[in-house]
A and B are shown apart, each in its own frame.
Chain A
Amino acid sequence: MWKFSLVVWCIALLPAQSSKYGVGRPATPDQFRELATAIAPDGTGLPEGSGTVAAGQELFAARCSKCHGTKAEGAIGPPLVGGQGTLATAKPLKTVGSFWPYATTVWDYINRAMPFDQPGQLKPSEVYALVAYLLNLNGIIAGNQVMDARSLPKVKMPNRDGFTTDPRPDVGKKAAR
């Protein structure tokens, strides 16, 4: 067995076969951890932890209402609630509730970019709580639902099927060559 391990180890130390220029160093686990913040819509990347609507409400008042308003109705920052049913009208209101297709995106964006003046400081459970509060505020989840790595990707956002691929060029006619 040790011989096998040795062989594996030696192979690992060999310069990679198809690396032509051989620049750089193998990325370290520390670097992965720091950069593993991106969350996929299927939930890949979501960390341990969980959050309730109630905890989110408290946190929102303390950290978010300054910019987004006490009821997330918008102030310096955009509104985060309302707008469902307005997308096909003359005055569409695009919010987390009316427009965002994936709940995982809400988690990802709060985690990477919020609060605006101090991004990167929220703990995973705090982010889960804030997402739970916003989803509840938009009538998407019940008040007693807990958000975590398993429940969050299962949330179906109201506008999940509201997106189409790019059909351009879609306007005008081609010029004679």
Chain B
Amino acid sequence: MKDFGKSRRQMLRLGAAAGLLANHERALAWQNAPRPLGIPLGPYGERSPFEKAVRWTRDSKTPETGSSFTPLADSVGTLTPSSLHYERHHAGIPTIDPLQHRLVIHGMVDRPLSLTIAEIRRLPAVSRIVVLECGGNSGSEWAAKTGADVQRSHGLVSCSEWTGVPLSLVLAEVGVRPGAAWVIAEGADACRMERSIPLAKAMDNILLAYGQNGEAIRPAQGYPLRLLIPGWEGNTNVKWLHSLKLTDQAYMARDETAKYTDLMPDGKARIFTYDMEAKSVITFPSGGQTLPGPGLYELTGLAWSGRGRVERVEITTDGGANWTQAHLQEPRLPIAFTRFRLPWRFEGRDVVMGSRAIDETGYVQPTREALIEVRGVNSGYHYNGIKLWKVHAAGTVTNVEV
């Protein structure tokens, strides 16, 4: 404060010494301008009222079931704020008192166990930054009429830091009996969402997650406890988890037979299609945006793979004829958003651009045409084709008509 007063006096002296009356008056005016105090401190933060990015929810006659989409074009960096994480519910979000909640592990185990959330939090924990993608993400892209912007076409994917206890550790506690091969996971939502998980995966890298981005998991994400299965379709990551039953067989739940199976052109459907394959999308420029005019821009987007790290992202700005390697932001974590960027000069002419991800297994993100050639257009789930955007000469950006 002292220094501030001093510099102000110096300024006044300087103005007077120079005989610059106008400057002197301006300085006086500046001196008298009131500066209202900001808002006080608060217990739980809010974003700036000027920030308007929100999830988009598809119209539904039953708002308790449906999905909301992350505004990917508004996201910077590689993490999704918990408030903007995509949602997919089948019977609404239950309100669960963590003190009343129990996880019961039963079936083919030596010691059937009931655990409180406090007891689960007592166990050795790990944190992992993991992308979570709905098996139906980009499902609109199978059809000729595709999503108009990146939120609608790709918004059922988000990336968070998840904290929890390895499921393998808890299974060791209960003692899995010989012959057990599956874990039937059930949520405490009204419809008791159920999925069968192979025991081998349960012993590998599944988390019983209670934390998201440094705090408790949000209610919409499964508070107080969910399964977190890195790289597998979102539906298997059962939320509001209250039961794990060890069995010798898959239970053929509705969500792994009638839904989340991929119907092929020959009428056969693929079952237990868990992996989310490598995928990427350009978020700037992308559908619905307008470039102010020709000039140098930084093209950017997100890439991920359910099978590990993103090794490379290639960009085309000529409709797929030529491909240039984009810069990948480090650290590149396995099964997490990887941010890519590439300087690009907009010449004020029509451009069709797209990105393709290559993951550490060598898998190359395919074109939409290649996917359809093998799987037809009625498989519904696991779409990961290259997404093309058209930047028009005037600067508007649209989906490419197919």
Complex contacts, A173 vs chain B, CB 8 Å: 364
| A74 interfacial by beta-carbon distance below 8 Å | no
Closest chain A residue to B105, Cβ basis: A27
Q: Is the CB of B252 within 8 A of A41?
A: yes
- Given the known inter-chain contacts A100-B257, A119-B91, A175-B363, please indicate yes or no for A162 contacting B269, CB distance below 8 A: yes
A24 to B113, CA, bound (A): 6
For the residues of A in contact with B, the DSSP-based class is: loop
CB contact between A16 and one of B110, B243, B373 (< 8 Å): that residue: B110
A19 to B350, CA, bound (A): 65
Q: Is the CB of A19 within 8 A of B111?
A: yes
Q: Is the CB of B263 within 8 A of A166?
A: no
Q: Is the CB of A119 within 8 A of B271?
A: no
A176 to B362, CA, bound (A): 7
Q: Is the CB of A42 within 8 A of B249?
A: yes
Complex contacts, B401 vs chain A, CB 8 Å: none
Residue interface mask B281-312, A partner, CB < 8 A = 1 = 00000000000000000000000000000011
Interface positions of B from 94 to 127, Cβ below 8 Å from A: 102, 104-106, 110-116, 119-120, 122-123
Q: Closest approach, in angstroms, between the C-beta of B223 and any C-beta of chain A?
A: 19
Residue interface mask B304-322, A partner, CB < 8 A = 1 = 0000000110000000000
Q: Is the CB of B258 within 8 A of A99?
A: yes
Residue interface mask A100-118, B partner, CB < 8 A = 1 = 1110110011001100100
Q: Is the CB of B254 within 8 A of A87?
A: no
| B33 interfacial by beta-carbon distance below 8 Å | no
Q: Is the CB of A172 within 8 A of B363?
A: yes
Complex contacts, A39 vs chain B, CB 8 Å: 251
Which of B's residues lie within 8 Å of A, judged by CB?
61-62, 65, 90-91, 102, 104-106, 110-116, 119-120, 122-123, 172-175, 184, 186, 190-192, 194, 242-243, 245, 247, 249-254, 257-258, 261, 263-275, 277, 311-312, 358, 361-366, 370-371, 373-375, 378, 382
- Pull 13 A–B residue pairs with CB atoms less than 8 Å apart, ordered by A: A26-B114, A32-B104, A37-B192, A38-B253, A41-B251, A76-B61, A101-B252, A105-B257, A113-B90, A163-B268, A164-B264, A164-B268, A171-B370
Which of A's residues lie within 8 Å of B, judged by CB?
16, 18-21, 23-28, 31-32, 35, 37-42, 44, 76, 87-88, 90, 92, 94, 96, 99-102, 104-105, 108-109, 112-113, 116, 119-120, 162-177
